[in-house]
Structure 1
Protein backbone atom coordinates (compact mmCIF):
# COMPACT_ATOMS: atom_id res chain seq x y z
CA UNK A 1 0.00 0.00 0.00
CA UNK A 2 1.37 3.40 -1.00
CA UNK A 3 -0.22 6.70 0.01
CA UNK A 4 0.36 10.10 -1.54
CA UNK A 5 0.24 12.80 1.14
CA UNK A 6 -0.41 16.25 -0.28
CA UNK A 7 -0.05 19.35 1.89
CA UNK A 8 -1.53 22.41 0.13
CA UNK A 9 0.14 25.58 1.46
CA UNK A 10 0.98 29.18 0.70
CA UNK A 11 4.66 28.82 1.55
CA UNK A 12 4.40 28.56 5.32
CA UNK A 13 4.22 25.38 7.37
CA UNK A 14 3.99 25.45 11.17
CA UNK A 15 6.67 23.39 12.88
CA UNK A 16 3.88 21.59 14.77
CA UNK A 17 2.43 20.33 11.48
CA UNK A 18 5.84 19.24 10.19
CA UNK A 19 6.66 17.35 13.40
CA UNK A 20 3.24 15.67 13.53
CA UNK A 21 3.50 14.73 9.84
CA UNK A 22 6.88 13.06 10.43
CA UNK A 23 5.48 11.08 13.39
CA UNK A 24 2.44 10.02 11.35
CA UNK A 25 4.59 8.88 8.41
CA UNK A 26 6.98 6.97 10.68
CA UNK A 27 4.06 5.18 12.36
CA UNK A 28 2.50 4.30 8.99
CA UNK A 29 5.84 2.95 7.75
CA UNK A 30 5.96 0.63 10.79
CA UNK A 31 2.66 -0.84 9.53
CA UNK A 32 4.14 -1.44 6.07
CA UNK A 33 2.50 1.61 4.50
CA UNK A 34 4.74 3.49 2.09
CA UNK A 35 4.23 7.26 1.84
CA UNK A 36 5.16 9.94 -0.65
CA UNK A 37 4.84 13.51 0.59
CA UNK A 38 4.29 16.58 -1.60
CA UNK A 39 4.18 20.14 -0.26
CA UNK A 40 2.00 21.83 -2.88
CA UNK A 41 2.53 25.58 -2.85
CA UNK A 42 -0.16 27.81 -4.33
CA UNK A 43 -2.57 30.58 -3.47
CA UNK A 44 -5.79 28.92 -4.73
CA UNK A 45 -6.76 25.90 -2.65
CA UNK A 46 -8.96 24.37 -5.34
CA UNK A 47 -6.10 24.53 -7.88
CA UNK A 48 -3.78 22.84 -5.38
CA UNK A 49 -6.31 20.11 -4.65
CA UNK A 50 -7.01 19.56 -8.37
CA UNK A 51 -3.26 19.26 -9.06
CA UNK A 52 -2.99 16.78 -6.17
CA UNK A 53 -5.69 14.58 -7.72
CA UNK A 54 -3.89 14.64 -11.06
CA UNK A 55 -0.62 13.84 -9.30
CA UNK A 56 -2.25 10.80 -7.68
CA UNK A 57 -3.42 9.48 -11.06
CA UNK A 58 0.07 9.95 -12.53
CA UNK A 59 1.66 8.08 -9.60
CA UNK A 60 1.67 4.48 -8.44
CA UNK A 61 -0.08 5.44 -5.18
CA UNK A 62 -3.29 3.76 -4.01
CA UNK A 63 -4.86 6.75 -2.27
CA UNK A 64 -4.42 10.44 -1.52
CA UNK A 65 -4.32 11.92 1.97
CA UNK A 66 -4.96 15.65 2.11
CA UNK A 67 -3.38 17.27 5.15
CA UNK A 68 -3.79 21.02 5.30
CA UNK A 69 -0.73 22.97 6.40
CA UNK A 70 -2.37 24.11 9.65
CA UNK A 71 -3.42 20.66 10.87
CA UNK A 72 -1.99 18.56 13.70
CA UNK A 73 -2.60 14.86 12.99
CA UNK A 74 -2.15 12.10 15.53
CA UNK A 75 0.55 9.59 14.69
CA UNK A 76 -2.01 6.82 14.04
CA UNK A 77 -4.34 8.94 11.87
CA UNK A 78 -3.34 7.56 8.46
CA UNK A 79 -3.35 3.94 9.66
CA UNK A 80 -6.78 4.31 11.26
CA UNK A 81 -8.27 6.00 8.19
CA UNK A 82 -7.00 3.11 6.06
CA UNK A 83 -8.36 0.53 8.50
CA UNK A 84 -11.88 1.94 8.01
CA UNK A 85 -11.76 0.71 4.38
CA UNK A 86 -13.85 3.60 2.99
CA UNK A 87 -13.48 5.33 -0.37
CA UNK A 88 -13.57 8.80 1.21
CA UNK A 89 -13.02 9.30 4.94
CA UNK A 90 -11.84 12.15 7.12
CA UNK A 91 -10.65 12.52 10.65
CA UNK A 92 -12.67 14.99 12.71
CA UNK A 93 -11.37 18.55 12.51
CA UNK A 94 -12.86 21.71 13.98
CA UNK A 95 -12.96 25.32 12.84
CA UNK A 96 -10.47 27.45 14.74
CA UNK A 97 -12.80 30.39 15.23
CA UNK A 98 -15.88 30.58 17.45
CA UNK A 99 -18.22 28.56 17.20
CA UNK A 100 -15.49 25.95 16.62
CA UNK A 101 -17.90 23.75 14.64
CA UNK A 102 -16.84 20.31 13.42
CA UNK A 103 -15.90 20.37 9.72
CA UNK A 104 -18.46 17.71 8.80
CA UNK A 105 -21.84 18.44 7.30
CA UNK A 106 -25.33 16.98 7.25
CA UNK A 107 -28.16 18.17 4.99
CA UNK A 108 -28.72 21.22 7.27
CA UNK A 109 -25.13 22.48 7.49
CA UNK A 110 -22.60 21.72 10.23
CA UNK A 111 -23.19 18.29 11.79
CA UNK A 112 -23.49 19.20 15.49
CA UNK A 113 -24.87 16.14 17.29
CA UNK A 114 -22.81 13.39 15.71
CA UNK A 115 -22.38 9.89 17.17
CA UNK A 116 -18.99 8.37 17.96
CA UNK A 117 -17.44 6.10 15.34
CA UNK A 118 -17.26 5.95 11.56
CA UNK A 119 -20.35 7.78 10.31
CA UNK A 120 -21.69 8.70 6.89
CA UNK A 121 -21.88 12.45 6.31
CA UNK A 122 -23.19 14.69 3.54
CA UNK A 123 -19.77 16.33 3.16
CA UNK A 124 -16.49 16.83 4.97
CA UNK A 125 -13.75 19.40 4.91
CA UNK A 126 -10.62 18.17 3.13
CA UNK A 127 -8.17 19.23 5.86
CA UNK A 128 -7.42 15.62 6.90
CA UNK A 129 -9.15 13.40 4.37
CA UNK A 130 -8.15 10.11 2.73
CA UNK A 131 -9.48 9.48 -0.80
CA UNK A 132 -8.93 6.27 -2.75
CA UNK A 133 -7.59 6.40 -6.30
CA UNK A 134 -10.83 4.93 -7.70
CA UNK A 135 -12.73 8.06 -6.63
CA UNK A 136 -10.60 10.25 -8.90
CA UNK A 137 -10.77 7.70 -11.71
CA UNK A 138 -14.58 7.58 -11.67
CA UNK A 139 -15.50 11.17 -10.75
CA UNK A 140 -15.47 13.61 -13.69
CA UNK A 141 -13.22 16.65 -13.51
CA UNK A 142 -13.04 19.31 -12.33
CA UNK A 143 -13.09 17.68 -8.89
CA UNK A 144 -12.53 20.69 -6.65
CA UNK A 145 -13.77 23.76 -8.52
CA UNK A 146 -16.03 25.56 -6.01
CA UNK A 147 -19.73 26.03 -6.64
CA UNK A 148 -21.69 29.18 -5.74
CA UNK A 149 -22.09 29.39 -1.95
CA UNK A 150 -20.01 26.25 -1.24
CA UNK A 151 -16.27 25.74 -1.12
CA UNK A 152 -14.05 23.29 -2.94
CA UNK A 153 -14.39 20.60 -0.28
CA UNK A 154 -18.19 20.40 -0.30
CA UNK A 155 -18.20 20.72 -4.11
CA UNK A 156 -15.87 17.71 -4.31
CA UNK A 157 -18.12 15.71 -1.99
CA UNK A 158 -21.18 16.51 -4.13
CA UNK A 159 -19.39 15.41 -7.30
CA UNK A 160 -18.07 12.22 -5.69
CA UNK A 161 -21.55 11.37 -4.39
CA UNK A 162 -22.97 11.92 -7.89
CA UNK A 163 -20.39 9.38 -9.11
CA UNK A 164 -21.70 6.84 -6.57
CA UNK A 165 -19.34 7.30 -3.62
CA UNK A 166 -20.22 7.83 0.04
CA UNK A 167 -18.50 10.23 2.42
CA UNK A 168 -17.45 9.21 5.94
CA UNK A 169 -15.82 10.66 9.03
CA UNK A 170 -14.28 8.84 11.98
CA UNK A 171 -15.51 11.03 14.82
CA UNK A 172 -13.24 9.22 17.31
CA UNK A 173 -10.16 10.34 15.37
CA UNK A 174 -9.44 14.04 15.84
CA UNK A 175 -6.98 16.13 13.89
CA UNK A 176 -6.08 19.34 15.71
CA UNK A 177 -6.35 22.69 13.92
CA UNK A 178 -3.41 25.01 14.58
CA UNK A 179 -4.14 28.66 15.33
CA UNK A 180 -3.55 30.60 18.54
CA UNK A 181 -3.50 27.09 20.01
CA UNK A 182 -4.34 23.64 18.65
CA UNK A 183 -8.14 23.64 18.41
CA UNK A 184 -10.08 20.41 19.04
CA UNK A 185 -13.40 19.08 20.35
CA UNK A 186 -12.87 20.59 23.82
CA UNK A 187 -13.21 24.10 22.37
CA UNK A 188 -16.41 23.12 20.58
CA UNK A 189 -17.95 21.49 23.67
CA UNK A 190 -17.05 24.52 25.81
CA UNK A 191 -18.67 26.89 23.30
CA UNK A 192 -21.87 24.75 23.18
CA UNK A 193 -22.12 24.71 26.98
CA UNK A 194 -21.95 28.51 27.05
CA UNK A 195 -24.84 28.89 24.59
Structure 2
Protein backbone atom coordinates (compact mmCIF):
# COMPACT_ATOMS: atom_id res chain seq x y z
CA UNK A 1 0.00 0.00 0.00
CA UNK A 2 2.61 2.50 -1.09
CA UNK A 3 1.59 5.98 -2.21
CA UNK A 4 3.27 8.59 -4.37
CA UNK A 5 5.88 11.00 -3.09
CA UNK A 6 4.57 14.09 -1.31
CA UNK A 7 6.02 17.35 -2.63
CA UNK A 8 7.55 19.51 0.12
CA UNK A 9 6.41 17.21 2.96
CA UNK A 10 5.89 18.43 6.51
CA UNK A 11 7.93 16.16 8.76
CA UNK A 12 7.53 15.95 12.51
CA UNK A 13 10.80 14.91 14.13
CA UNK A 14 9.56 13.23 17.29
CA UNK A 15 12.04 12.69 20.11
CA UNK A 16 10.73 9.91 22.32
CA UNK A 17 11.96 10.67 25.82
CA UNK A 18 10.96 8.28 28.62
CA UNK A 19 12.73 10.48 31.15
CA UNK A 20 14.09 13.99 31.53
CA UNK A 21 17.55 13.43 30.05
CA UNK A 22 18.76 13.35 26.45
CA UNK A 23 22.16 11.78 25.74
CA UNK A 24 24.90 13.95 24.25
CA UNK A 25 25.63 11.59 21.35
CA UNK A 26 21.95 11.57 20.36
CA UNK A 27 21.76 15.37 20.60
CA UNK A 28 24.74 15.80 18.27
CA UNK A 29 23.18 13.41 15.72
CA UNK A 30 19.80 15.18 15.95
CA UNK A 31 21.32 18.64 15.49
CA UNK A 32 23.31 17.46 12.49
CA UNK A 33 20.25 15.91 10.84
CA UNK A 34 18.06 18.97 11.49
CA UNK A 35 20.72 21.25 10.03
CA UNK A 36 21.00 19.00 6.98
CA UNK A 37 17.20 19.02 6.59
CA UNK A 38 16.84 22.82 6.57
CA UNK A 39 15.36 22.59 3.05
CA UNK A 40 12.43 20.62 4.52
CA UNK A 41 9.46 21.82 6.56
CA UNK A 42 10.22 20.19 9.91
CA UNK A 43 8.96 20.55 13.44
CA UNK A 44 10.73 19.04 16.46
CA UNK A 45 8.28 17.43 18.89
CA UNK A 46 9.08 15.80 22.19
CA UNK A 47 6.93 12.94 23.41
CA UNK A 48 7.65 12.78 27.12
CA UNK A 49 6.17 10.11 29.37
CA UNK A 50 7.39 7.51 31.85
CA UNK A 51 5.87 4.91 29.48
CA UNK A 52 7.36 4.63 25.97
CA UNK A 53 4.04 3.86 24.32
CA UNK A 54 2.55 6.92 26.01
CA UNK A 55 5.41 9.11 24.80
CA UNK A 56 4.83 7.95 21.22
CA UNK A 57 1.11 8.62 21.46
CA UNK A 58 1.79 12.17 22.65
CA UNK A 59 4.15 12.71 19.71
CA UNK A 60 1.66 11.33 17.17
CA UNK A 61 -1.15 13.50 18.57
CA UNK A 62 0.96 16.67 18.33
CA UNK A 63 2.13 15.72 14.84
CA UNK A 64 -1.45 15.26 13.66
CA UNK A 65 -2.43 18.61 15.16
CA UNK A 66 0.48 20.28 13.35
CA UNK A 67 -0.64 18.72 10.08
CA UNK A 68 2.46 16.62 9.46
CA UNK A 69 2.72 14.40 6.40
CA UNK A 70 5.31 12.16 8.09
CA UNK A 71 6.57 11.50 11.58
CA UNK A 72 10.12 10.36 12.29
CA UNK A 73 10.14 8.52 15.60
CA UNK A 74 13.53 8.90 17.29
CA UNK A 75 14.65 7.07 20.40
CA UNK A 76 16.99 9.09 22.59
CA UNK A 77 19.67 6.38 22.63
CA UNK A 78 20.30 6.22 18.87
CA UNK A 79 22.95 7.89 16.69
CA UNK A 80 22.52 8.41 12.96
CA UNK A 81 24.07 10.24 9.95
CA UNK A 82 23.09 13.79 8.97
CA UNK A 83 21.35 12.70 5.76
CA UNK A 84 19.20 10.01 7.44
CA UNK A 85 15.86 11.81 7.07
CA UNK A 86 16.42 12.66 3.40
CA UNK A 87 17.54 9.10 2.79
CA UNK A 88 14.36 7.56 4.22
CA UNK A 89 12.09 10.05 2.47
CA UNK A 90 13.73 9.23 -0.86
CA UNK A 91 12.59 5.60 -0.56
CA UNK A 92 8.93 6.70 -0.86
CA UNK A 93 7.57 4.15 1.60
CA UNK A 94 4.66 4.46 4.02
CA UNK A 95 6.61 2.83 6.85
CA UNK A 96 10.39 2.55 6.74
CA UNK A 97 13.19 2.72 9.24
CA UNK A 98 16.56 1.45 10.32
CA UNK A 99 17.36 -1.29 12.78
CA UNK A 100 20.01 -1.37 15.47
CA UNK A 101 21.34 -3.75 18.13
CA UNK A 102 20.25 -4.30 21.68
CA UNK A 103 22.44 -2.25 24.05
CA UNK A 104 23.45 -5.37 26.02
CA UNK A 105 25.20 -8.60 25.11
CA UNK A 106 24.79 -10.50 22.84
CA UNK A 107 23.74 -7.32 20.96
CA UNK A 108 21.20 -8.96 18.64
CA UNK A 109 19.81 -6.78 15.87
CA UNK A 110 16.19 -5.90 16.53
CA UNK A 111 13.37 -6.80 14.17
CA UNK A 112 12.17 -9.89 12.31
CA UNK A 113 12.25 -10.07 8.52
CA UNK A 114 9.22 -11.14 6.50
CA UNK A 115 9.33 -14.55 4.86
CA UNK A 116 8.41 -13.07 1.47
CA UNK A 117 10.92 -10.64 -0.01
CA UNK A 118 10.89 -8.49 -3.14
CA UNK A 119 14.09 -9.11 -5.10
CA UNK A 120 14.03 -5.67 -6.71
CA UNK A 121 13.75 -4.01 -3.31
CA UNK A 122 16.46 -6.25 -1.85
CA UNK A 123 18.83 -5.03 -4.55
CA UNK A 124 18.18 -1.50 -3.28
CA UNK A 125 18.99 -2.56 0.26
CA UNK A 126 15.36 -2.65 1.41
CA UNK A 127 14.24 -5.59 3.51
CA UNK A 128 10.53 -6.25 4.08
CA UNK A 129 9.92 -6.74 7.78
CA UNK A 130 7.36 -8.54 9.87
CA UNK A 131 8.43 -6.64 12.97
CA UNK A 132 10.50 -3.48 13.14
CA UNK A 133 11.82 -1.52 16.13
CA UNK A 134 10.44 1.99 16.51
CA UNK A 135 13.58 3.87 17.54
CA UNK A 136 14.31 5.23 14.07
CA UNK A 137 11.11 4.88 12.09
CA UNK A 138 9.55 7.13 9.44
CA UNK A 139 5.77 6.74 9.16
CA UNK A 140 3.34 8.50 6.83
CA UNK A 141 0.67 10.15 8.96
CA UNK A 142 -2.10 8.61 6.83
CA UNK A 143 -1.24 5.31 8.52
CA UNK A 144 -2.33 6.58 11.93
CA UNK A 145 -5.52 8.03 10.48
CA UNK A 146 -6.54 4.52 9.35
CA UNK A 147 -5.97 2.82 12.70
CA UNK A 148 -8.92 2.13 14.99
CA UNK A 149 -9.71 5.52 16.58
CA UNK A 150 -11.00 3.77 19.71
CA UNK A 151 -7.52 2.45 20.53
CA UNK A 152 -4.23 4.25 21.24
CA UNK A 153 -1.83 4.38 18.33
CA UNK A 154 0.75 2.53 20.44
CA UNK A 155 0.06 0.16 23.29
CA UNK A 156 1.40 -3.01 24.88
CA UNK A 157 -0.34 -6.36 24.67
CA UNK A 158 -0.04 -9.79 26.27
CA UNK A 159 0.91 -12.67 23.97
CA UNK A 160 1.40 -16.23 25.17
CA UNK A 161 1.85 -15.14 28.79
CA UNK A 162 4.43 -12.55 27.78
CA UNK A 163 4.22 -8.79 27.20
CA UNK A 164 4.33 -7.82 23.53
CA UNK A 165 6.10 -4.50 22.94
CA UNK A 166 4.21 -1.54 21.51
CA UNK A 167 6.36 -1.56 18.35
CA UNK A 168 5.40 -5.17 17.61
CA UNK A 169 1.72 -4.50 18.28
CA UNK A 170 1.86 -1.51 15.93
CA UNK A 171 3.47 -3.66 13.20
CA UNK A 172 0.74 -6.30 13.49
CA UNK A 173 -1.99 -3.68 13.24
CA UNK A 174 -0.61 -1.88 10.19
CA UNK A 175 0.10 -5.12 8.34
CA UNK A 176 -3.54 -6.08 8.86
CA UNK A 177 -4.42 -2.81 7.11
CA UNK A 178 -2.32 -3.86 4.10
CA UNK A 179 0.82 -1.82 4.77
CA UNK A 180 4.31 -3.14 4.20
CA UNK A 181 7.05 -2.39 6.72
CA UNK A 182 10.56 -1.78 5.43
CA UNK A 183 14.06 -1.78 6.86
CA UNK A 184 16.74 0.21 5.05
CA UNK A 185 19.79 -2.00 5.50
CA UNK A 186 22.23 0.56 4.10
CA UNK A 187 21.14 3.16 6.63
CA UNK A 188 21.07 0.54 9.39
CA UNK A 189 24.80 0.03 8.87
CA UNK A 190 25.30 3.66 9.96
CA UNK A 191 23.02 3.60 13.00
CA UNK A 192 24.49 3.38 16.50
CA UNK A 193 22.91 2.30 19.78
CA UNK A 194 24.12 3.95 22.95
CA UNK A 195 24.42 1.52 25.85
CA UNK A 196 25.60 1.51 29.43
CA UNK A 197 28.32 -0.53 31.02
CA UNK A 198 29.62 -0.87 34.56
CA UNK A 199 33.41 -1.16 34.66
CA UNK A 200 35.24 -3.16 37.35
CA UNK A 201 38.80 -3.96 38.40
CA UNK A 202 40.86 -5.40 35.50
CA UNK A 203 40.57 -9.08 36.48
CA UNK A 204 36.80 -8.84 37.00
CA UNK A 205 36.42 -6.90 33.75
CA UNK A 206 38.35 -9.59 31.87
CA UNK A 207 36.01 -12.31 33.16
CA UNK A 208 33.00 -10.22 32.17
CA UNK A 209 34.32 -9.79 28.63
CA UNK A 210 34.90 -13.54 28.36
CA UNK A 211 31.31 -14.19 29.44
CA UNK A 212 30.05 -11.75 26.81
CA UNK A 213 32.13 -13.51 24.16
CA UNK A 214 30.61 -16.86 25.14
CA UNK A 215 27.14 -15.37 24.81
CA UNK A 216 27.97 -14.05 21.36
CA UNK A 217 29.25 -17.44 20.23
CA UNK A 218 26.20 -19.24 21.61
CA UNK A 219 23.76 -16.89 19.92
CA UNK A 220 25.57 -16.45 16.62
CA UNK A 221 23.43 -18.95 14.72
CA UNK A 222 20.17 -18.31 16.52
CA UNK A 223 17.36 -15.98 15.55
CA UNK A 224 16.01 -14.66 18.83
CA UNK A 225 12.67 -12.79 19.11
CA UNK A 226 13.90 -9.21 19.73
CA UNK A 227 12.39 -6.67 22.06
CA UNK A 228 13.26 -2.96 22.15
- Shorter-normalised TM range: 0.7 to 0.9
1:43 to 26, 46, 50: 50
Query: Could you tell me how far 1:180 is from its partner in structure 2?
Result: 3.8
From 160, 165, 168, the counterpart of 1:154: 168
Q: CA deviation at 1:192?
A: 5.7
State the match for 1:13 in structure 2: 22
**C-alpha displacement at 1:82, in angstroms?**
0.5
Runs of 4+ in 1 over 3 A off after TM superposition: 191-195
Query: Residues 18-29 of structure 1: matches in 2 within 5 Å?
Result: 18-29=27-38
Q: Secondary structure at the match of 2:143?
A: helix
CA shift, 1:79, in A, is 0.7
Structure 2: any 5+ residue segments left out of the alignment? 1-8, 116-121, 198-215, 221-228
CA distance in 2 between partners of 1:158 and 1:91 (Å): 18
Q: Is the 8 A contact 1:4 1:38 kept in 2?
A: yes
In structure 2, what is the Cα distance between the partners aligned to 1:39 and 1:60? 16
How do residues 60-71 of structure 1 correspond to structure 2 at under 5 angstroms?
60-71=67-78
In structure 2, C-alpha distance between the alignment counterparts of 1:176 and 1:67, rounded to whole Å: 12
Rounded to whole Å, the distance in 1 between the matches of 2:181 and 2:167 is 11
Greater Rg over alpha carbons, structure: 2
Residue 47 of structure 1 and its aligned partner are, at CA, apart by: 0.8
What residue in structure 2 maps to residue 100 of structure 1? 107
CA contact (8 A) 1:6 1:64 kept: yes
Aligned residues between the structures: 180
3-state SS in 1 of match to 2:186: strand
CA–CA separation in structure 2 for the residues paired with 1:56 and 1:165 = 20
Aligned 1:47-58 pairs, distance under 5 A: 47-58=54-65
Q: Could you say which residue in structure 2 is the equivalent of 1:179? A: 195
Secondary structure, in 3 states, of the residue corresponding to 1:172?
helix
- Give the RMSD, CA atoms, in angstroms: 2.3
- Give the TM-score, by structure 2 length: 0.73
Written as runs of structure 1 = structure 2, the 5 A alignment for 1:83-94 is: 83-94=90-101
- Superposed CA deviations along residues 100-152 of structure 1, whole A, max 9, x for unmatched, are 111121369xxxxxx67111100101000000011011122322111113100
3-state SS, counterpart of residue 173 of structure 1: helix
* Distance in structure 2 (CA, Å) of the matches to 1:97 and 1:28: 32
Residue 132 in 1 paired to residue 140 in 2?
A: yes
d(CA) in 2 for partners of 1:138 and 1:28? 28
> Which 5+ residue runs of structure 1 have no aligned equivalent?
109-114, 182-190
* Distance of aligned partners of 1:171 and 1:193 in 2 relative to their CA distance in 1, 3 Å threshold: farther
**56, 66, 70: which one aligns with 1:59:** 66
Cα offset for 1:63? 0.4
Query: Which protein is richer in strand relative to its size?
Result: 1
